[in-house]
């Protein structure tokens, strides 16, 4: 008990690191703001812009976006965490979204999930040790007539078969 008290006395709260949006990010966000009736309406686009530049959206970036759009960090975070394609932690260079909709499930999603996890050595939500891939489930990629499907970055792969996976993965460095 005494050790815990000593430890608590030693801990000091320091200011969080201040992250500023780049001039390019600000310019792109301001363009989006010009297209909507009020600043807050551009929050999704602002999150996408920051993610495009940085790969993901850190807590500090959430605060910076909030300051720029006259929103609280909590308001920005509530939007960021609602959308599954806004990444709130670092991801690999290539993000694999494996569709787990009912159509994909019926057409063999589960087998593809197992094979991908074995090939990559990771589970859903994890990134490979070489930072090459992050594997995430996705509730629908909108191509139920071509199930099972996955998306890597912006490339849609449909009518997937287990034997297709190695060839597809090789294309992404």
**All domains of the chain in start order, with CATH:** 8-82 (1.10.10), 94-170 (3.40.30.10)
102, 117, 160 from 88: Cα distances, Å: 27, 22, 29
Read off the pLDDT band of 17 (50, 70, 90).
Answer: low
Q: Is the pLDDT confidence value at 18 over 90? A: no
Interhelix angle 59-68/23-34, rounded to 10 degrees, is 50
Q: For residues 50 and 57, what is the distance between their CA atoms, to the nearest angstrom?
A: 7
Q: Say which DSSP state 90 is in.
A: -
Total-model pTM: 0.81
Q: Is the pLDDT confidence value at 62 over 60? A: yes
- Which pLDDT score is estimated for 43? 98
Which tens digit of pLDDT belongs to each residue from 132-156? Answer: 999 999 999 999 999 999 999 999 9
- Which pLDDT score is estimated for 150? 98
How many residues are there in the chain?
A: 173
Region 97-106 average pLDDT? 96
- Which pLDDT score is estimated for 4? 43
Closest CA to 29 of 13, 7, 52: 52
| DSSP reduced 3-state for 81 | helix
């Amino acid at each position: 008990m005494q050790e815990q008290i000593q430890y608590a006395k030693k801990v000091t709260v320091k200011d969080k690191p201040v992250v500023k949006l780049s001039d390019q990010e600000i310019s792109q966000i301001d363009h989006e703001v010009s297209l909507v009736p009020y600043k807050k309406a551009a929050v999704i686009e602002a999150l996408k812009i920051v993610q495009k530049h940085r790969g993901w959206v850190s807590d500090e970036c959430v605060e910076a976006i909030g300051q720029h759009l006259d929103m609280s960090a909590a308001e920005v975070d509530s939007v960021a965490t609602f959308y599954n394609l806004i990444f709130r932690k670092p991801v690999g260079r290539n993000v694999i979204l494996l569709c787990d909709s009912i159509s994909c499930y019926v057409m063999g999603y589960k087998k593809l999930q197992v094979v991908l996890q074995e090939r990559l050595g990771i589970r859903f939500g994890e990134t490979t040790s070489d930072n090459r891939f992050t594997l995430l489930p996705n509730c629908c990629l909108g191509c139920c007539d071509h199930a099972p499907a996955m998306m890597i970055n912006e490339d849609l792969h449909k009518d997937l078969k287990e034997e297709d996976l190695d060839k597809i993965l090789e294309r992404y460095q």
